[in-house]
């Protein structure tokens, strides 16, 4: 897992090297790959462990790959044919396909000759791909292409409980979860997860203080549900810290568990809070 570092890449991870020719580095929803030519045969240098990387990335939703060619891009025609066949086999399932940016800097030996050949391999495998002359442009393109949102993380007016303050806080939670899902870098995921976790604790503390002030009869049951929600969110946050965000985990947390809590416990609390005494 290796790549030419861009200015925003601040989280160190250990690269996985193969034959000193290929390195991989997973960061957020992008697989950064460095391949150093000339190549006699590139497919043989691809490790079986790449399957695990791809599975992990596909779990996050839309993902991308930046392939940076260094030193030389030269490769025999037979090896290029093997690469084309490998890519078609590897990405036969459309749901696992990334968008791919191929970086050939102008001073790389054979870049003008070989860049179109590499691009053809990826395009023929059904992968949306483009060639770039520098890493920064490639990163910008990949990040724009893998931007994502989830309909399950969209706020709907039907989610309103009837209490203005609670509803505004719920809306903010959905917004922060959407930011987390949209983050493409590991650093962005960690920061977004922290913002979501902190606001969730603030929101739940607000409700618990409201229940105590109102002497709410179901305070213990309601508070216990809060503990369960925090535990689930903490599990998701720990996965993100270890670069293992799973898109469905976040969708199920907010779209199932938290939504059910909103529709039942929070709605009951809002009704109680707004009942004249």
Q: In what order do the strands lie in the sheet with 22-27?
A: 16-18, 22-27, 30-36, 64-70, 99-104, 129-132
**22 and 138 share one domain:** yes
- Supply φ then ψ for residue 245, to 5 degrees: -65, 135
**85 and 193 share one domain:** no
**50 and 130 share one domain:** yes
pTM of the full structure: 0.84
**127 and 214 share one domain:** no
Taken as a whole, the chain contains a residue count of: 277
164-182 and 186-214 helices, crossing angle to 10°: 170
At 47 the pLDDT is: 84
133 CB burial (10 A radius; 0-12, 13-18, 19+): middle
- 4 assigned to some structural domain: no
d(CA 134, CA 149): 28
**92 and 74 share one domain:** yes
Residue 89, domain extent: 16-145
**172 and 113 share one domain:** no
pLDDT tens across the length of the chain (277 residues)? 333 333 333 333 444 444 458 999 999 999 999 999 999 989 988 888 888 889 999 999 999 999 999 999 999 999 999 999 999 999 999 989 999 999 999 899 999 999 999 999 999 999 999 999 999 999 999 999 999 999 999 999 999 999 999 999 999 999 999 999 999 999 999 999 999 999 999 999 999 999 999 999 999 999 999 999 999 999 999 999 988 889 999 999 998 999 999 999 999 999 999 998 6
């Amino acid at each position: 897992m290796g790549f030419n570092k861009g200015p925003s890449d601040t989280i160190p991870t250990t690269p996985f090297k193969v034959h000193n020719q290929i390195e991989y580095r997973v960061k957020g929803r992008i697989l950064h790959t460095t391949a150093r030519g000339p190549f006699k045969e590139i497919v043989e240098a691809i490790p079986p462990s790449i399957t695990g990387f791809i599975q992990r990335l596909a779990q996050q939703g839309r993902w991308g790959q930046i392939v940076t060619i260094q030193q030389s891009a030269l490769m025999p025609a037979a090896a290029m044919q093997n690469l084309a066949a490998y890519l078609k086999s590897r990405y036969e399932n459309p749901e696992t396909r990334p968008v791919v940016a191929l970086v050939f800097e102008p001073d790389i030996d054979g870049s003008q000759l070989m860049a179109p050949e590499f691009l053809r391999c990826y395009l023929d495998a059904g992968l949306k791909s483009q060639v770039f002359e520098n890493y920064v442009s490639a990163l910008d393109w990949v990040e724009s292409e893998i931007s994502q949102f989830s309909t399950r993380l969209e706020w709907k007016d039907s989610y309103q409980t009837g209490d203005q303050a609670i509803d505004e806080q719920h809306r903010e939670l959905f917004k922060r979860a959407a930011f987390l899902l949209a983050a493409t870098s590991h650093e962005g995921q960690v920061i977004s997860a922290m913002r979501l976790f902190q606001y969730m604790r603030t929101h739940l503390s607000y409700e618990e203080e409201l229940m105590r002030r109102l002497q709410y009869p179901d305070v213990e049951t309601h508070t216990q549900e809060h503990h369960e929600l925090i535990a689930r969110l903490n599990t998701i946050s720990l996965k993100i810290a270890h670069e293992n965000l799973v898109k469905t985990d976040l969708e199920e947390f907010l779209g199932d568990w938290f939504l059910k809590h909103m529709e039942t416990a929070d709605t009951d609390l809002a009704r109680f809070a707004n009942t004249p005494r």
